[in-house]
Structure 1
Amino acid sequence: MEQLLGTCPAHTAMELAGAFSEPWREIPWRDKDRELQYVKNYKPYRDDIQHLRVLLYGPVGAGKSSFISSVDSVLQGRITTRALVEANSGPCPSRTYKTYKIQKGQPGDFYPFVFNDTLGLQMGEDSGVHPEDIKLAMKGHMRDGYRFNPGSKLSSNDSQYYNAEPTVNDKVQVLVYVVPADTAAQQEEDHVKKIKDIRRTACDLGIPQLAVITNIDSACTEIHKDLKNVYKSKYLKKTMEEFSDSVGIPMNCIFPVKNYQEKNVVNDDADSLILSVLRRIIDFGEEFINDMET
C-alpha cells in the first residue's frame, strides 16, 4: 500500500484502501463462452464494409501492442505475441503504421475487424506521434508502412504513403486511447491538450471513442490478489473517475484490462475483461457504420 501511495499522490489513503463490498460495475464473468461466440459470429451488417478499423493511441509503454496481442490470444485460445514482436523489432517500438489482422480459421480467413497501432503520444511539441498524423489516419489518408516523424506530419505530397482517395474500409470506425493505470489519473497539461485535440477531430467525424486502462493488477493490490476485484477496487474507480474528468471520456466508455505480457497460458478472468472491451468496440463500430451515408 505504501508503494501505491508513493506512485499516486493524487489519492488519499482512504481512497486507496481496500475494496467495495459490491462491484460498482457488472461483468459477465461466467459468460466468457457466450461473449467469445458473439465476437466469432460478428459480421458487419453492410456488405461494403470489409472490416471495422480500430485505431489505438496513447503514451509510450501504455500497452497498445500488448492489447492487440492480448485480443489475438483470447481469440486463438493461446498466447500469441505477433504484434508485440513486430512492434519491438525495429529501432523504435510501433514507429511504423501497420494494420494488424487476426486470423479466424484457415490461412486467409480473418476476423472482420483490424487494429492499427501508433507511435507513443508523448509530452512536448516535438516528441511522440504528431497529433495531425492520428487525424490523417482516422480519415483514411495513411497507408501501411508510413514511418511516424514526431517533427512533421504525413504530407499530401507523399505519393507512397498518403492515400488521397480513402475508401470506407481505409477510414477508422473506432478510436481507442490506451493508458496504464498508474498514470491515468496524472495526465500532464500538454498531454491532455493533445488528447483533447485528437478527440475533437474524432467527434467532428462522428467516430466513437473509448479508453482502455492497462496494468491494473500492478497498480492495485486488491486486483493483484484477485482479478475479479477489478470492479470492487476503490483505487481503480477513483483513477477512472479522475481520468474521465481530465480527458472527457465518459466512465461507461473506459475499460480496465489485464494484458497478456508475462503469462504463457490464457486465463478466463483476463479473457473476460478483454472480451468486454472488444464487444463494446464492435458494437460502437457497428453503430457508426450503420449511421454512415451510403
Structure 2
Amino acid sequence: MLYGPAGSGKSSFINSVDSVLQGRVTARASADAISQKSFTTKFRTYKIQKGRPRTFYPFSFTDIMGIEQDTNKGARVEDIKLAMRGHIKDGYNFDAANTISENDKDYNEIPTLSDRVHVLVCVVSATTSNILSAATVTKMREVRLAANDMGIPQLAILTKIDEACPEVRADIKNTYKSKYLKEKMEELNVALGIPLNCIFPVKNYHSEIDTDDDIDTLILSALKQIIHFGEDFVNSL
C-alpha cells in the first residue's frame, strides 16, 4: 500500500511500474498535475497484466487518498490503520471528516491474509523545500508506528527527482551522484526514521511518450525491494 502527502506521486508511481512492465507508458491510476489536494479519493487496488489478458504479476498495489496537514482533510490515520489490517474493501470512498464504521458496506469484518497490507510504501516528493511539514510528519509517524506494531515492512520512494535537481534533469544517471538528493533522503530519514538504504529515488513517467532504460532501472530497483519485503512478511507468518 502506498501512502504519503497529497500530490507526492503515489498514483504516478503505480503507473510507472505498470509502464516498465508493459514496455509502454500507461496511465491506469488517475493522477493530477495541478491540484495540491489529493486527486485520489477511493481505496483502489491495481494488478498489473502479464502477457495474456487476465494474467497478472503476483503482486498488486493499493492506492489511497493522500495525507494532508490540516484537520479533516485528506486520508484519516485511523482509516489507513484499518486498511493495513485489511478492513477496507476495494472501492471505498474516503471521507476526510469521518473514519469508516463497522456498519459501512465497504467495511471488511473478517479480512484474510490477501486483504492485509504486506508492505507499506511511503511516497514523498523531492521538490518540497522542507521534506515534510510538522503536521504531516505527525500523521505519517503515527501510520509508520502502527505498521511497525503489525510487523509490516516499510520503505520510501522519493519522487520527482528530476524536477528537484537540475543535474538529474540533465541526466538521470546522476541520481546517486546528486548531493541535493542525498540531503533530501537524509531529511526523510530524520523526519520519519526510515533507514537510508530503504529510501529509493525515482523518476515517475509523466511527460515521456516512450519508456526509457535509465528511468526503468530506478523504478525496478524500488520494485525489487518492495517484492522482497512482501515475501519476507508473508513467509514470516
Structure 2 residue 164 is matched with structure 1 residue 164: no
Q: Which residue of 1 aligns with 2:93?
A: 147
Structure 2 residue 216 is matched with structure 1 residue 271: yes
Equivalent residues of 2:10, 2:123 under 8 A apart: yes
Matches within 5 A, 1:18-37: none
Structure 2 residue 185 is matched with structure 1 residue 240: yes
Equivalent residues of 1:185, 1:240 under 8 A apart: no
Partner-residue secondary structure (3-state), 2:93: coil
Pick the aligned partner of 1:123 from 69, 75, 87: 69
Pick the aligned partner of 1:199 from 136, 144, 150: 144
Compute the displacement of 1:92 (Å). 6.5
Q: Percent identity?
A: 53
Aligned residues: CA RMSD: 1.6
Give the aligned residue type for 1:209: Q
Q: Given the superposition, is the C-alpha separation of residues 85 and 241 from structure 1 closer, same or farther in structure 2, using an over 3 Å criterion? A: closer
Q: Moved runs in structure 1, 4+ residues, more than 2 A?
A: none
Structure-1 separation of matches of 2:159 and 2:3: 13
Equivalent residues of 2:30, 2:40 under 8 A apart: no
Partner-residue secondary structure (3-state), 1:287: helix
How far does the alpha carbon of each residue in 1:149-189 deviate from its partner, in whole angstroms, 9 at most, with x for none?
1111111111x100000000000000011111022743111
Equivalent residues of 2:102, 2:109 under 8 A apart: yes
Q: Larger Rg: 1 or 2?
A: 1
Q: Which residue of 1 aligns with 2:126?
A: 181
Partner-residue secondary structure (3-state), 1:79: coil
Q: Which residue of 2 aligns with 1:111?
A: 57
Equivalent residues of 1:184, 1:239 under 8 A apart: no
Pick the aligned partner of 2:25 from 76, 79, 82: 79
Runs of at least 5 residues in structure 1 that lack an aligned partner in the other structure: 1-54
Give the aligned residue type for 2:163: S
Runs of at least 5 residues in structure 2 that lack an aligned partner in the other structure: none
Per the normalisation by structure 1, the TM-score is 0.77
Per the normalisation by structure 2, the TM-score is 0.95
Q: Which has the higher contact order (CA 8 A, sep 6+)?
A: 1
Partner-residue secondary structure (3-state), 2:61: strand
Aligned residues: 234
Give the aligned residue type for 1:214: T
Q: Which residue of 1 aligns with 2:14?
A: 68
Partner-residue secondary structure (3-state), 1:210: strand
Pick the aligned partner of 1:98 from 16, 36, 44: 44
